[in-house]
Structure 1
Amino acid sequence: MSQNNRLVTGIFILVAGIVILLGKWGVFSFIGRAFWPLVFLIPGILLHLYYFRKREAAIWLVPAGILSVYGILFFIGNFAGSDVFSYIWPLFILGIAVGLFEYDALGSPRPQGILLIALILMLVTIVLLFFTLTSVSLITLLAIMLMIGGIWIILARGRSSRGW
Structure 2
Amino acid sequence: MSSKNDMKLGVFIAAAGLVILLGKLGVFGFLGRALWPLILLIPGLILHVLFFTRRASASVLVPAGILTVYGLLFGLCNTWGWGLMRHLWPVLLLGIAVGLYEYSLYASPRSGGLTTTAVILGLLSIVLFIFTSMGTGALYLLGAVLVAAGLWLMLGRGRRGSRKKWNGGW
TM-score (norm 2): 0.84
- Distance in structure 2 (CA, Å) of the matches to 1:115 and 1:148: 30
- Distance in structure 2 (CA, Å) of the matches to 1:56 and 1:43: 14
| Alpha-carbon shift at residue 144 of structure 1 (Å) | 3.2
Q: Which residue of 2 aligns with 1:124?
A: 124
Count how many residue pairs are aligned between Structure 1 and Structure 2: 162
| Alpha-carbon shift at residue 135 of structure 1 (Å) | 1.6
Indicate the SS of the match to 2:7: helix
Per-residue CA shift, 1:101-137, capped at 9, x if unaligned? 1111112121341101101101210121122111246
Indicate the SS of the match to 1:109: coil
Q: Which residue of 1 aligns with 2:60?
A: 60
> Identity, % of aligned pairs?
48
Q: Which residue of 2 aligns with 1:144?
A: 145
- Distance in structure 2 (CA, Å) of the matches to 1:55 and 1:124: 33
Q: 1:150 to 1:111 in 2, by over 3 A?
A: closer
- Structure 2: give runs of 5+ residues left out of the alignment: 165-170
Per-residue CA shift, 1:2-47, capped at 9, x if unaligned? 2222111101011011111211221111111110001100110111
- Runs of 4+ with deviation above 6 angstroms: 151-154
| Alpha-carbon shift at residue 149 of structure 1 (Å) | 4.9
After TM superposition, the structure 1 = structure 2 runs for residues 1-164 of structure 1, keeping only pairs within 5 Å, are 1-136=1-136, 138=139, 141-147=142-148, 149-150=150-151, 160-162=160-162
**1:33 partner amino acid:** R
- Structure 1: give runs of 5+ residues left out of the alignment: none
Q: RMSD value over aligned CA atoms?
A: 2.4
